[in-house]
Amino acid sequence: MHPLDESILEAFRRDPSRSFTTTEMVREVFPKEYSQLNKDINTEDRKTIRKGYALKARLHRKLLYHINKLVEQELLLVTGVRGKGEKLFQLAMDEGELVVQSTKRKIVIAKPSTISTQIDGYEKEELIRKYEPGTWLNKHNAIMLDCIAFENAAELQQRLQKVFTAVNDGIALNRLEHVLEGEGASEFLHNLMLDARDYDVAVSLIFNFPTIKEREQILQLLKQILPGLPQQITIVFNVNPRQLTKHEAFFSQLLGMFSEYKQKLMFKNSAIFNAPIFSGKAGPYAFTEEDWSYYKKHVRGQADGCVIGQLTLAIDINRYFKEGGSLTGFRELTARAAHAFFDVDEQRRRHFGDYFGFLATSNPDATKEFFKVGRNYLRFWNYDWAESEQPILELLSSVKEEVGKFCTMQETIFKSCGLPIRFKIGLSTSFAKFDQDFFSDRRYQKTAITTTKELQTQEMKQYLEIRERLFKVFDGADRLRFFIARGVPVEETMRIARYLLNAYALPSFTLDFRGKTGELKLTTFMEGN
């Protein structure tokens, strides 16, 4: 078998449920060349652009020859066409194991069957929904890479090539300043934006303010990327109130840039919450304080990051109760969801080498630690405590307790059987992007913040206090977003940021400068769920 045939099959082995376009396959098989041609195509120099397109055409032709050969051998199938007539290719098997013997090696591709779980009935009733069910077995929701583990941006980019194929929702790059202060930062960010868009994975660029050495350089880099920032990218600053006040000039400039380019900026309040918080498309992710302590003590220094999110299920609370669901039934539903997570976890453990082995590093201990702090997420949509007849916060707190007990029981049982596993479920909010067809639609009057005073009304005070409590229930994995009206001066935006950092125990909040257009859904105003 030709080495290129093997490389193509290898890409399918890593992601057996996926359909690839030729372009996507070029990126998988020729990562270096793909990166170069992208760079060339996006320059200003016409000659270089032509060179880039020529390389792209050459690689497409070369690869198509081998793909078509595999189609003829009935190993691959053409499943459709995307964009400007680009064919989509998929493995020619529904489920099971495909063993391809080449002269030098054996490639075993395991395509999982759809797994039955205890929530299948509820799913048919549209009471619960899996996030990305097609990759339910072979992908993680979210991974965080700790940039201090990388020498430079190029090394991080290399690691990211694997990580992008392993996740279906979000990637966080913690302490990104560490690699951006070195060489190749612009090119790295450029490629990262392309990859985030191509893979449609949410990427959070997390800057730890106190460890930024070259502040001016970071501002300049952000200025370069903000005008064309894809919606998949979120910028996060980890800062405490004192630092914000002390470095007012820096943050004024930063907020001014986000306002100018109409982007959103997330603040993580390090005085309230130590661990990183970031967003995927399905919802936010966070470490519990306990997991973060474990991470700092055992994972950091061994592994270059960790899996944070494994699997996600979402429940539309409003729909559940509107359709006559009872509190007892809701608890039963969440209990079944916990069982379903465990069933799938077992399958994922069984096929660990096939699905996730490619993320392993040369150090087996580091590999173990990489997977040590992940959690499954049970997310909720439309849980409006003001309108609901149910005591939502109390309900969520009790569900958290019950689900936690189940996790502990499972860990104890397996540990006593000589299988020391980690099994955790976190509760969190869900974003609309999780599955817009599934979630019920809720509409709110458009509102945006223009002054700090609007945050000091009695109504807002109550709202923020409830959000503080929700953050606790969700162990930090919540999102609070304020739209900033157009034309609000930077000084006022600074006051808003300072007020939110100082007055409330909010682990994080986002200031969104994208303005208001028409009537907004809950998802775009002060978004919590």
Partner 1 sequence: MEIRAATTMDAWKQAIRYVLEKGKVFVDDDGRECHEVRHLTVTVEKPSSAADGVRAMRLCRKWKYPSEEELTNIMLNKEAASTYDYLYGQRIFAFNGVVNQIDDYVIPLLQKKPNTRKAIVSLLNPARDMQPDAKNVLGVSLISFRIVDKRLAATAVIRTSGFFTGWPANIFQLARLQEHIAHVLNLPPGALTTMSLHAHLHSENFEDIEVVLGKDILKGVDRGE
How far apart are CB 355 and partner 1 at their closest, in Å? 11
| Closer residue to partner 1 in complex, CB, 65/352 | 352
Query: Where does this chain bind partner 1 (CB under 8 A)?
Result: 339, 342-343, 346, 349-350, 352-353, 357, 360, 368, 371-372, 406, 409-410, 412-422
How far apart are CB 426 and partner 1 at their closest, in Å? 17
| Closer residue to partner 1 in complex, CB, 346/387 | 346
Nearest to 215 by CA among 248, 184, 191: 248
How far apart are CB 417 and partner 1 at their closest, in Å? 3
| Closer residue to partner 1 in complex, CB, 62/339 | 339
**Which residues, including other chains, have CB under 8 Å from residue 186's CB and lie 6 or more apart?**
221, 224
Distance, in Å, from the CA atom of 385 to the CA atom of 526, rounded to the nearest integer, reads 15
| Closer residue to partner 1 in complex, CB, 226/335 | 335
The SS3 call for residue 202 is strand
How far apart are CB 346 and partner 1 at their closest, in Å? 7
Pair 27, 121: CB distance under 8 Å: no
| Closer residue to partner 1 in complex, CB, 103/416 | 416
Find the helix or strand (DSSP H, E) in which 264 lies: strand 264-269
Pair 73, 101: CB distance under 8 Å: no
Distance, in Å, from the CA atom of 119 to the CA atom of 125, rounded to the nearest integer, reads 10
| Closer residue to partner 1 in complex, CB, 271/421 | 421
How far apart are CB 366 and partner 1 at their closest, in Å? 12
Pairing of strands 425-429, 375-381: parallel
Pair 118, 339: CB distance under 8 Å: yes
| Closer residue to partner 1 in complex, CB, 342/434 | 342
How far apart are CB 185 and partner 1 at their closest, in Å? 34
For 432, other C-beta atoms within 10 Å of its C-beta total 19
Query: Which neighbouring-strand residues pair with 206?
Result: 236
Long-range CB pairs of 61-69 (<8 Å, 24+ gap) are 62/4, 63/4, 63/8, 63/22, 63/25, 63/26, 63/29, 63/30, 64/22, 66/2, 66/4, 66/5, 66/8, 67/8, 67/22, 67/25, 69/5
How far apart are CB 372 and partner 1 at their closest, in Å? 7
How far apart are CB 290 and partner 1 at their closest, in Å? 12
How far apart are CB 402 and partner 1 at their closest, in Å? 12
| Closer residue to partner 1 in complex, CB, 190/422 | 422
| Closer residue to partner 1 in complex, CB, 117/318 | 117
6: its two tokens: 């093997």
26: its two tokens: 């070029």
**Which residues, including other chains, have CB under 8 Å from residue 188's CB and lie 6 or more apart?**
153, 154, 156, 157, 179, 180
